[in-house]
Structure formats: C-alpha cells, structure tokens
C-alpha cells in the first residue's frame, strides 16, 4: 500500500485537494492529522486535561465561555468546556511563542501519531492501494521518510496565500495572519524539497487558480503517481507481507537518505552565509 503524504502550508488549498482525493474517481481513505488533532483534545481526553493544566493558569480565555452551545459551566457530559481555539492560537503563534508551540506539540503529537498508525493499518487490511496522510507539518514532524510519495500543495505567490487566509479566517488581523504564515516553512521551499525526491516520489500541486484549475492539476499529478504505483502492485504487497516489508524498508531507507542529503546541503549553504 502506498503511503501518499499530502502537505502544504496554511491557506494553500491542501484541504480541498484532500477532499478531491477522497471522492471519485480516486476514493482514497484519508488519515487527516488536523481532524485527529481536534479529536485528541476534546473535553474529557488526556490531551485536553494536559492543555488545560499547562496553559489554563496563564490564558484566562482558554475555554469557551459557559453557554448552551458549549454545554454550560461544565461542558457537555460534564467533561469540561471546549477549548477556545482562537485564544489558544494567539497563545502559541507569533514572535517569541516557540516555547509555547513546543509545549503544545509535545502534548498533541504523540496522541495523533498513535491514532494515525491505527487508521493506516486499517486501510492496509481493507486492501486499499493507497492511503492519504493529510499532514500539514509533514516535513517538520518527521513523516517524510515513511511516505512513498509526497504531494505538496503550493502557491507560487505569497500574496495569494495571505489573501486566502484572511478571506477564510475573517477574525484574524493582518498581524495574526502574518504570524501564522511565518510560523511555518515557506511552501515554496517545501515544493523544492518534495521535487528533490524524484518524479515518482515527489510531486507538486500548484494552486494559483480557481477550483477547476486545481482539479485538473490534481488529475495531472495523480496520473504520474498511479503510473509509478499501479494497483496490481499494491494487491501483490497485500497478498505477500514479506515482500511488503522489504518494499517498505527499501522505500524508507531511500527517502531517509534523500532527506539527509537535502538537510546537509542546507546546512552547508547556511554556513557559507
């Protein structure tokens, strides 16, 4: 089974591409890291309790105010009021917030990984030829070598990205929007790193136009992906687990090496500056 990593940056169209891959003609199962990240911090979960304990004392508006929508003072089912996500976002994004982001990631990431692995195994057992790993921070969080192919959804112009973000999240000020974009790797750098993997292992979905343009772009890149990863090969790997193990190991080692060489070159370039 092909692990098809899907990433991008904020407001580049990754969620739309994820929806297109989940719909006909592809019908691929999607392991959505953002969706899982929300689930693992719902009231009553261990992640929720840790976030409240860590950020609550210094973030007065961390929880939504008591209301019928939020379940009153003690939330729905008495598990606590939901997190006020805009307030948490303001707390962890922006200049000087790296320590807070690391603290939040340390709480959320382990729980997200566990659930993602579970969903990947289920997709394999159901005989899917590929599964989409929808991970916004795929490169940053270490998922890169695990993916046989990576799709980066990118825009060539940073202005387009900012316009889409402000249109989507109207509550963000211009400063908030700039901080959220700046907190992530530049998507054009992600595109270069993706293409370094080679034609069959890294493709870029350019999303500078409208939704119809994006759909045509997705069809174009998926033609490339399916050419190099046919369904008969996925079926063979399902029927022959030892071959699947060998194939997965080889893919991981090869992609780990590409990642290592890319990072080495970046370090050498930085040393020359």
Q: Check which CATH number belongs to the domain holding 203 and give it.
A: 3.40.50.300
For 116-123, what is the mean pLDDT? 93
Q: What is the mean pLDDT of residues 180-188?
A: 82
Q: Beta-carbon neighbour count of residue 77 at 10 Å?
A: 9
pLDDT at 75 over 70: no
For residue 66, name the pLDDT band (cuts at 50, 70, 90): confident
For residues 174-194, average pLDDT: 84
Per-residue tokens: 166 = 């402000």
Same domain, 56 and 174: no
pLDDT higher than 80, residue 113 = yes
Same-domain pairing of 81 and 174 = no
165 belongs to a structural domain: yes
What pLDDT does 220 receive? Answer: 94
Answer whether 0.95 is exceeded by the pTM.
no
Under the banding of pLDDT at 50, 70 and 90, the label for residue 94 is: low
What does the buried/exposed string (b/e) look like for 1-18 if buried means 16 or more CB atoms within 10 Å of the residue's CB?
Answer: bbbbbbbbbbbbbbbbbb
Mean pLDDT is lowest, of 76-80, 103-107, 167-171, 215-219, for 76-80
Looking at the structure, do residues 103 and 165 belong to the same domain, yes or no?
Answer: no
- Which of 53, 80, 112 is where one domain is finished? 112
Q: Please state, for a pLDDT cut of 70, what percent of the chain lies above it.
A: 94
Residue range(s) defining the domain that contains residue 131: 2-29+126-272
Residue 70 has pLDDT above 60, yes or no: no
Identify the domain boundary among 112, 134, 168.
112
* Average pLDDT for the chain: 88
pLDDT for 122 beyond 90:
yes
pLDDT band at 99 (very low <50, low <70, confident <90, very high): confident
Q: pLDDT at residue 123 above 80?
A: yes
Q: How many CB atoms lie within 10 A of CB 111?
A: 18
Q: Are residues 66 and 96 in the same domain?
A: yes
Total domains present in the chain: 2
Q: Are 93 and 99 in contact (CB under 8 A)?
A: no
In a domain, 120, yes or no: no
Domain contains 118: no
Quickly state the pLDDT bin for 163 (edges 50, 70, 90).
confident
| Residue 218 burial by Cβ neighbours in a 10 Å radius (0-12, 13-18, 19+) | buried
In a domain, 217, yes or no: yes
Q: Please tell me whether residue 263 adopts helix, strand or coil conformation.
A: helix
Residues 169, 211: one domain?
A: yes
pLDDT, mean of residues 170-197: 84
What's residue 73's pLDDT? 62
Residue 150 clears pLDDT 90, i.e. is over it: yes
Give dist(CA 176, CA 93) in Å, integer: 8
Q: Say if residue 145 is in the same domain as residue 267.
A: yes
């Amino acid at each position: 089974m092909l692990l098809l990593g899907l990433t991008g940056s904020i407001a580049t169209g990754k969620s739309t591409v994820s929806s297109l891959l989940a719909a006909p003609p592809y019908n691929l199962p999607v392991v959505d890291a953002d969706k899982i990240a929300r689930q693992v911090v719902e009231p009553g979960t261990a992640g929720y309790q840790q976030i409240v304990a860590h950020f609550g004392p210094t973030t007065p508006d961390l929880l939504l105010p008591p209301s019928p929508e939020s379940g009153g003072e003690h939330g729905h089912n008495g598990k606590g009021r939901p997190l006020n996500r805009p307030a948490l976002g303001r707390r962890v994004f922006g200049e000087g917030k790296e320590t807070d982001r690391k603290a939040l990631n340390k709480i959320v990431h382990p729980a997200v990984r566990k659930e993602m692995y579970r969903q990947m195994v289920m997709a394999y057992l159901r005989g899917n030829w590929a599964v989409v790993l929808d991970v916004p921070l795929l490169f940053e969080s270490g998922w890169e070598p695990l993916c046989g192919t990576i799709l980066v959804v990118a825009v060539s112009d940073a202005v387009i990205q900012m316009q889409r973000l402000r249109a989507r999240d109207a509550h963000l000020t211009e400063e908030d929007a700039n901080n959220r974009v700046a907190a992530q790797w530049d998507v054009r750098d992600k595109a270069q790193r993706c293409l370094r993997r080679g034609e069959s292992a890294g493709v870029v979905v350019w999303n500078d136009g409208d939704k119809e343009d994006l759909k045509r772009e997705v069809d174009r890149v998926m033609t490339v992906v399916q050419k190099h990863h046919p369904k008969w090969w996925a079926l063979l790997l399902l029927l022959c687990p030892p071959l699947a193990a060998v194939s997965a190991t080889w893919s991981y080692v090869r992609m780990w090496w590409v990642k290592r060489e890319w990072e080495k070159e970046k370090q050498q370039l930085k040393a020359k500056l």
